[in-house]
Structure 1
Amino acid sequence: MNTTKIVVTLSGHNDDEIKEEIQKAKENIDAFDIVEIRGDVFDALNREDHGKKVRYIIDSFKPLKKEIIYTYRTAKEGGSGSKTTVEYEALLNAVCQTMDIDYIDIEVQSGDKIIESVSKTARDNNVKCLMSHHDFKRTPSSEEILSIINKMHTLGGDLYKVAYFPHEMKDVDKVTGAVKSAKQKYGDRIIGISMGELGKDTRTAEGEAASAFTYGFVSRDAAPGQIHVTHLREIFTR
């Protein structure tokens, strides 16, 4: 039986886009398990207005029993976030303390001190740490990927997400191989994505190559190769 949870990524920038995504998500409420809020799309807002947007989305889905991931994806990892490391740490800590979320995405390249700080705040507020690493230009070797996952484990992550851009099928195989090896060591904590059209099959992998989470969309894709959540649900319930 497949145990992959389907995450719908919400990445609307303004009120109209947010309301549209929420409405479409509610129309397809059975197609996903978790809502990912991309906080980096609110980068132009002050902290108060940022918080209002995030809380509005949370309040739209928590009564419907959906889990929430808060993600602030920095520019160096493919997002639109431009905060300094100090601002990044402060934001993630504040979100853990003040928002009703289930998971906080922490970029493993943000630095051990930041990870330690945010992880402690997360644990103190019953929030799980989703350690992540993205590279939109290349795919490291399977050994490098496993080394990164091992670091995520050492740093106390609850889930370990790696996502890389492939240039050939060999790159997709590197991710798949690393996922299989990491699952043997750490169990169902691994999320492995090969981006773009070439790597789409990693988003629907089952069995020993299956990820803990797979990410989809309802209105606009937030990453290369994302699949609509209704299609993901169809695949996983065949």
Structure 2
Amino acid sequence: MPRHQLRLDASSPTIIVPITARDVTELDQSAAASAAAPAGAAAEWRVDLFTPFTDGGGGDPAQAVAALERLAGLLPNTPILATFRTTAEGGSAEIAADSYAALIDALAASGLAAAVDVEYRHPQADRAIAAAHRHGVPVVASNHDFDATPPTEEIVARLEAMETAGADVAKIAVMPRSAADVVTLLDATERRYRQARIPLITMSMGALGAVTRIGGGAFGSAATFATVGAASAPGQLPADGVRAALDLLHRGR
């Protein structure tokens, strides 16, 4: 079982701060910066950006667990979402399919991650989800489209498919090419929110979609990614500013 829970509620969206460290030194620096994040924030550690996985060696789950142990020690009160983002989903490293599932298994088995990210279209997604659940660790199923915004029905279908696959949270991020695309993402979020039995995290990326990172909760998105340091995706906003905006939007709710 994880040491912390990742509590998600669209009525009061959680801020998740990305940690994009390449090595132990940067991990320490990022943790120090994240410690200054707004109260109640969670952290997402991007394992695919860590040097053991970007140097072409394929990575070793034991190295990832050791780094997670260090990070958890530096952030004792912060829930950590452990994420390995493959290149197919916009990440910075690639590992063999079996190794991906083994990594998710090891991160979940450590008990240090509040949740693990599993790309729902990955060929080993079913195995990775099952492994996380064996250890009592929730799964954030994810999908990213850095080129476009799919139609409303397709976004809804993907979020539904994640829930059907056993995810505990369904997440999708898309790239808008127009203001209408931003509306499409919000419309899809609201439609799925009415039917979903699990929390949703949705966002429209880039400057055009920044409004969804602040106002997504009104449409059913239970978390937003905001920076204390380096961003991990286009359009992420500073955490302090996001906190202030969320406090204004959700005052009295």
2:24 aligned residue: 15
Report if the CA contact (8 A) 2:62-2:106 is conserved. Answer: no
SS in 2 for 1:100: coil
Instruction: Give the Cα–Cα distance (whole angstroms) in 1 for the partners of residues 202 and 216 of structure 2.
Output: 12
1:36 aligns with 2:44: yes
Alignment match of 2:102 (pick from 66, 76, 90): 90
Aligned CA distance change for structure 1 residues 232 and 188 (closer, same or farther; 3 Å): farther
Instruction: Give the Cα–Cα distance (whole angstroms) in 2 for the partners of residues 49 and 187 of structure 1.
Output: 35
1:132 aligns with 2:146: no
Alignment match of 1:50 (pick from 54, 64, 68): 64
Alignment match of 1:234 (pick from 222, 244, 247): 244
| Percent of paired sites with the same residue | 26
Query: Mapping of 1:77-226 within 5 angstroms?
Result: 77-111=89-123, 114-186=124-196, 189-206=199-216, 208-226=218-236
The number of residues matched between the two structures is 233
SS in 1 for 2:141: strand
1:3 aligned residue: 12
> What letter corresponds to residue 21 of structure 2 in structure 1?
G
> What letter corresponds to residue 147 of structure 1 in structure 2?
A
Instruction: Give the Cα–Cα distance (whole angstroms) in 2 for the partners of residues 210 and 220 of structure 1.
Output: 26
> Pairwise CA RMSD of aligned residues?
1.7
> What letter corresponds to residue 241 of structure 2 in structure 1?
H
What's the offset of the Cα at 1:207? Answer: 5.1
Provide TM-score, normalisation by structure 1. Answer: 0.92
1:26 aligns with 2:40: no
Where does structure 2 lack aligned partners over 5 or more consecutive residues? 1-9, 249-253
Provide TM-score, normalisation by structure 2. Answer: 0.86
Instruction: Give the Cα–Cα distance (whole angstroms) in 2 for the partners of residues 187 and 123 of structure 1.
Output: 17
2:3 aligned residue: none
Instruction: Give the Cα–Cα distance (whole angstroms) in 1 for the partners of residues 196 and 139 of structure 2.
Output: 15
Where does structure 1 lack aligned partners over 5 or more consecutive residues? none
Instruction: Give the Cα–Cα distance (whole angstroms) in 1 for the partners of residues 14 and 186 of structure 2.
Output: 18
Aligned CA distance change for structure 1 residues 46 and 157 (closer, same or farther; 3 Å): closer
What's the offset of the Cα at 1:81? Answer: 2.1
- Give every structure 1 segment of 4 or more consecutive aligned residues whose post-TM-superposition deviation is greater than 4 Å: none
Instruction: Give the Cα–Cα distance (whole angstroms) in 2 for the partners of residues 46 and 207 of structure 1.
Output: 37
Instruction: Give the Cα–Cα distance (whole angstroms) in 2 for the partners of residues 224 and 207 of structure 1.
Output: 19
Report if the CA contact (8 A) 1:204-1:210 is conserved. Answer: no
